[in-house]
Structure 1
C-alpha cells in the first residue's frame, strides 16, 4: 500500500492520491490542444484524464478532441461541462479577453483552475479575478513556462547567491521576428479588445520572468508605444492571404492551405465562428502597438529598461543585469553570437510543436565582477520546449507539486496579476502621457520580496 501510494503524486490542488486527476479544458485553439492537451495525454495519462472539452466552435472542438486523442464528451456550454463532468481542474486556454469569465466561473463552481498566460487583459477583470480567488477555497495557477527554463533558472540562482551584489538595474530587450511577430497581427491579438495588446499578451511572459529574477514587485511604469509597421501603415492590403491580389509582391504572404495543421485547426472550421487565421497584416482594424518601450521602477528601487520589437530579422532576447558588485549578461537565440544562420520560419514552429528530443547542449551566461575578468557560466539546455522549461513546468504541476522548489518557480494569482499590471500600466501611460502607479490599478500593493 505504501509503495503504491508513493508512486502517485500528492497534488497541490488537494485532489488526493487515490484517483486520477480529472481535467476539463476550455478553448481548443493551438495552445489548448497541443501544450495543455496532447502533451498531457502523451506524458501523464497514468495520473490524469480528460473528462471534458469545451469551445464555442463545435467543429473545431471535434477536431481538437481527435488531435488530443481523448474520448471524453465535448460541450459548447462551459457551465454544463463543469456541472456534468465535475472536474478537479479546469484549464483555460481561450481568447485572452475571456480568461476571467472561465477562471471566475470555474472557481465559483468548486474547481481548481490553471490558466494560460496572460491572467487577463485589464485591471477591472484582474480585480474581479482577485476577488473571486479570495472568496474561493480553491487554487489558481498561471502557466508561466519561462521561469522553468534551465537558462532562466541559472540567472535566478546567480542573483539569489548575491553574485553581483545588490541589484540596481536591468536592461531587457525582446525581438520578435517577421514570422512569429507577424503572426500576432494576423490573429485576434491584433485588436486591443481581444488581447490587450502585446504589452499584455506577449510581454506578460517577460515581466513575470523579470519580477521573479528581481524578487520584488513593480511600483511604477512609464511607457512609449506606437503602430508604425503593421496595420494601416502597410503599402497595400487585402481580405486575407488566400484571396489577396497582392500575393506576388507581399513579403508576408502566407499560404495557410500548405500548412496542414493550421488548415485542419482553423480553415476547416472558420465557417462556424468566422475566425480567420490568415488575416491581412495591414488591415485597418489593427489597433495595438508594434513598437514598445517602458521604464519600470520596483519596490526595492531596481530600475527596468524594457523594449519589445515585433518585426526583427531574428527572434531572441538580451539582458544586462547590473549590481553593486558586477554585471550579468544573458541572451538567447542571437544568431551572430553563435556564428550561425537560423531558419526563422521554422524555429517557432519547432518550439511550439513539443516534439524535440531532450538532446543536451550548452548556452553561456557572462558573470563579470568588479575589478575581475569575466567568467563564462555554461548552462546545460535541452532542445525540447523552451530549453526544457515546458517539461519542468508540467512535471511540477502534475507529478511533484508537493516537492519544495528552492527557486520558487510556481506562479499563482498574485504573480499573474503583477505581470499583466505592468503591461496594463504601460498602456495607460501611453494613453495619458504620464507614469502609472501599479497600486492605483487594483487593491494589490507592491511589496519587496527580497529578504
Structure 2
C-alpha cells in the first residue's frame, strides 16, 4: 500500500542524503540528481518553479526538459531560468524522451488535468500549482488517475507555510479558544492585483473556473487546514458588477486603446521590461494578450463573491472575496467555545509601515532572499479575560515567507516531521477547489450544493 504523500516527499529528500542509505522503494538513486521537467512557462513557472529551483537547489536537482505551446517563449524561458535542457512543444514526447522523476505543472488552470494525468500515466511523480483543476469532472479524472498510478501528486499550496499562517494553526491546535465553532474570512484584492485577473485568461470561466477556483482555492485550503475538517455543504452568491460589460468604455488592449488618458486602469505593459519580454514579445505565436481590456464584454467570471460553508464537524464559515478594493489584505476571525482569535494582514490603517498598493503583489511574487522582517499581530481574546496580542515575525517576500519554506520542505527537509501538517496532497487539492466549484454551481442553481455529490470523495470530520 503506497503512502501517497510520504513516499513522494521522502524520495526527493533522499537525493541530498548519503549514498549509503538504502534505496528500496525509490525509482532513482542518491548518486543522481532529481530529474525535473516543467510544463507551462508563464511567470509562475519560470520564476518560482524555474529560476528559484536552479538558484537554490541545483546541487540536488536538474531540469531535463521544458514544455509549452509557445515556441519563442520556450526559448526565452530556457535562457531566463538558466538551463541547458531541450525544449518541447509536445509534452508527451518530452516525458518519454527525458524520463523525468518529477513533472511540475504550471499551465493554464483548465489544462492542469491533462498534464497531471499524463504525467502519472507515464510513471512520474507530479507537482502541480494550485488550483488542482477547474471543475468536478476533471477533478474526478485526476482522482481516478492517481488511484491507478504507482506515482503520487502534491499541490503547491504556499500560504500554509508562512510563519503567520502557521502561528494561527498552532493556536487552534492548542485549543487556545476551545473547540472551534465558526469562522469569518474576508479577502480584499486591490485595483492592481485584482484587476490583473480580468486582463488575462482568468476572466474566462472555462479557462479558470472563475476566481472561486483560481484565487479562492488558496483561501479555502488555508481554512480547511486551520479548521482541521472538510467542507460538506456550500451556498453562495456572486455577480459581475464592476469589470467586463460594466465598464464605461473599452478597447482591444491597453497598448492600442484610445481611452488610455481617461481610464484609471490604464497599464503600459511595455514599461515593464520583464513582462514585455515574457509575454508581448511572444504573443504572435499563440495570440495570448497579457494586457487585455478589463472591460471587454466576453469576461464572464464574478467580481464579487460571498459564501457560507458548513464543515463535516459542524463548523461554519462565512467567506467573501472583493476584487476591486482600495487596498489589498485580509481578515479572519475564529470563534470558539472559550474565546476568539482575530488576525489580519496588510490592512493599511492597522500598520504604520504600510507600503504602496502597487508594491504589495510585487513583494508577494518576489523570490529574492531579502531579509525584510516586520511584525504582525494576532489577537487572542478568551472569555472573561483581557485580550492578548501576539506579535508574529513576518517576511514580505515570497508570499509571506511561505514560498521558500514550501520548497525547502519538498526538496531538502521532507524527512523531517512537520507537527502542523502543512504538506498538501491530492485530497487537500480536491477539497479546496470543490468549495469553489460548489459555490459556482450554487450561484447558477440557486441552492446549497453538497460537496459529496461532486466527486466520490466523502467529507471527513477531521482531515
Structure 1 length normalisation: TM-score? 0.97
Task: Classify the secondary structure of the residue corresponding to 1:310.
Answer: strand
| Aligned counterparts, 1:404-423, within 5 A | 404-423=417-436
Query: Do the aligned partners of 2:203 and 2:300 also contact (CA within 8 Å) in 1?
Result: yes
2:366 — aligned with what? 353
Task: Classify the secondary structure of the residue corresponding to 2:211.
Answer: coil
**1:375 corresponds to which of 385, 388, 406:** 388
Q: CA deviation at 1:10?
A: 9.8
Task: Classify the secondary structure of the residue corresponding to 1:373.
Answer: coil
66-75 or 361-370: bigger deviation = 361-370
Q: CA deviation at 1:17?
A: 2.4
Aligned-CA RMSD value: 1.8
Q: CA deviation at 1:387?
A: 1.8
2:331 — aligned with what? 318
Query: Do the aligned partners of 2:346 and 2:354 also contact (CA within 8 Å) in 1?
Result: no
In structure 2, distance between residues paired with 1:386 and 1:431: 33
1:252 — aligned with what? 265
In structure 1, distance between residues paired with 2:17 and 2:424: 27
Listed one character per residue, the Cα deviations across residues 91-127 of structure 1 (whole Å, up to 9, x for unaligned) are 0000000000000000000000000000000000000
**1:190 and 2:216 aligned:** no
Q: CA deviation at 1:350?
A: 2.5
1:441 — aligned with what? 454
2:129 — aligned with what? 116
Query: Do the aligned partners of 1:9 and 1:399 also contact (CA within 8 Å) in 2?
Result: no
Q: CA deviation at 1:386?
A: 1.6
Query: Do the aligned partners of 1:299 and 1:446 also contact (CA within 8 Å) in 2?
Result: yes
Listed one character per residue, the Cα deviations across residues 266-286 of structure 1 (whole Å, up to 9, x for unaligned) are 000000000000000000000
**1:176 and 2:189 aligned:** yes
**1:293 corresponds to which of 284, 306, 317:** 306
Q: 1:69 to 1:249 in 2, by over 3 A?
A: same
287-296 or 337-346: bigger deviation = 337-346
**1:88 and 2:93 aligned:** no
Structure 1: which 5+ residue stretches go unaligned?
A: none
Task: Classify the secondary structure of the residue corresponding to 2:264.
Answer: coil
Number of residues paired by the alignment?
A: 449
1:167 — aligned with what? 180
Q: CA deviation at 1:8?
A: 10
Task: Classify the secondary structure of the residue corresponding to 1:158.
Answer: helix
In structure 2, distance between residues paired with 1:216 and 1:347: 31
**1:213 and 2:232 aligned:** no
**1:342 corresponds to which of 349, 355, 361:** 355
Query: Do the aligned partners of 2:195 and 2:294 also contact (CA within 8 Å) in 1?
Result: yes
Task: Classify the secondary structure of the residue corresponding to 1:447.
Answer: coil
**2:41 corresponds to which of 24, 28, 48:** 28
In structure 2, distance between residues paired with 1:13 and 1:309: 45
Task: Classify the secondary structure of the residue corresponding to 1:228.
Answer: coil
Listed one character per residue, the Cα deviations across residues 207-242 of structure 1 (whole Å, up to 9, x for unaligned) are 000000000000000000000000000000001000
Task: Classify the secondary structure of the residue corresponding to 1:200.
Answer: helix
Query: Do the aligned partners of 2:366 and 2:397 also contact (CA within 8 Å) in 1?
Result: no
Q: CA deviation at 1:384?
A: 2.7
Q: CA deviation at 1:358?
A: 2.5
Structure 2: which 5+ residue stretches go unaligned?
A: 1-13
In structure 2, distance between residues paired with 1:223 and 1:359: 39
Q: 1:415 to 1:5 in 2, by over 3 A?
A: closer
2:3 — aligned with what? none
